[in-house]
Amino acid sequence: MPQVVERTGSTNADLVGVAGHGQLLVALEQTAGRGRLDRSWISRPGDGLTFSVRLDVPATVQAWGWIPLLAGVAVADAVRAAGVNDVGVKWPNDVVAGVGKLAGILSVRDEASAIVGIGLNLRFAGARPDPDAVSVAQAGGDPDPDRMLAAVVSNLHGWWTRFVEAAGDAHRCGLHTAYTGQCITLDQEVDVVETDRQWRGTAQGIDAQGRLLVRDDAGMHAVSAADVSLRA
């Protein structure tokens, strides 16, 4: 059973140091959540699901970069089952419907565990928190929070079990095919912003570590820690 709190700063931060595989924390309101590259993620009461899951990572799993991608597939599968069409994933941590962002995912390492935080837009009671955001309700799906949470957690458990049994081999457990088959980043021209430079290339694949493979005039590059955006 999930632990549900009325209000917190960050569900990811709250699970740091809390032992126990599968620990699930749901917040009705999150005031100081962080997205990738330290961006803020604020959730308003009633707008969506904000929760974190703690996953104990066995030593046989070395491809930690696949963990947020696995969570993205779990969320996309649940949203699609709820009636939303044109669902995809955007490397490395977004779930989209059409051109709108449905969900953001952030995985952080805590010793031998990964804490996976998920923010999923269900419906907007007021103005959209971000002009690029879209909700499950807007995209034509069923925004019931209990059913959505149960579906995402069930999918996450299923994919995690297969991933661990395959010793973190995304190809062998089918995760690589599931992810790349719906990734809107692939085969697109992208801008890559790293700490010390900005460059442009074509996204051509995902490697065994979950890194984005981007080709430019100098060759193929494996991108892990960067801001990657699709060219208009």
pLDDT of residue 60: 98
Q: Mapping DSSP to helix (H, G, I), strand (E, B) and coil, where does residue 165 land?
A: helix
Partnered with residue 109 across adjacent β-strands are 114
Q: Mapping DSSP to helix (H, G, I), strand (E, B) and coil, where does residue 32 land?
A: strand
Which of 27, 34, 22 is closest to 50 using CA atoms?
27
Determine if the peptide bond prior to 45 is cis (ω within 30°): no
pLDDT of residue 37: 45
Taking the model in full, what pTM does it have? 0.93
Per-residue pLDDT tens for 32-52?
655 554 555 556 667 899 999
Give φ, ψ of 37 to 5 degrees: 60, 30
Q: Mapping DSSP to helix (H, G, I), strand (E, B) and coil, where does residue 168 land?
A: coil
**Domains in the chain, CATH or no CATH each:** 3-180 (3.30.930.10), 189-230 (2.30.30.100)
pLDDT exceeds cutoff 90 at 191? yes
Per-residue pLDDT tens for 70-114?
999 999 999 999 999 999 999 999 999 998 999 999 999 999 999
Average per-residue pLDDT for the chain = 92
More confident residue, 227 or 113: 113
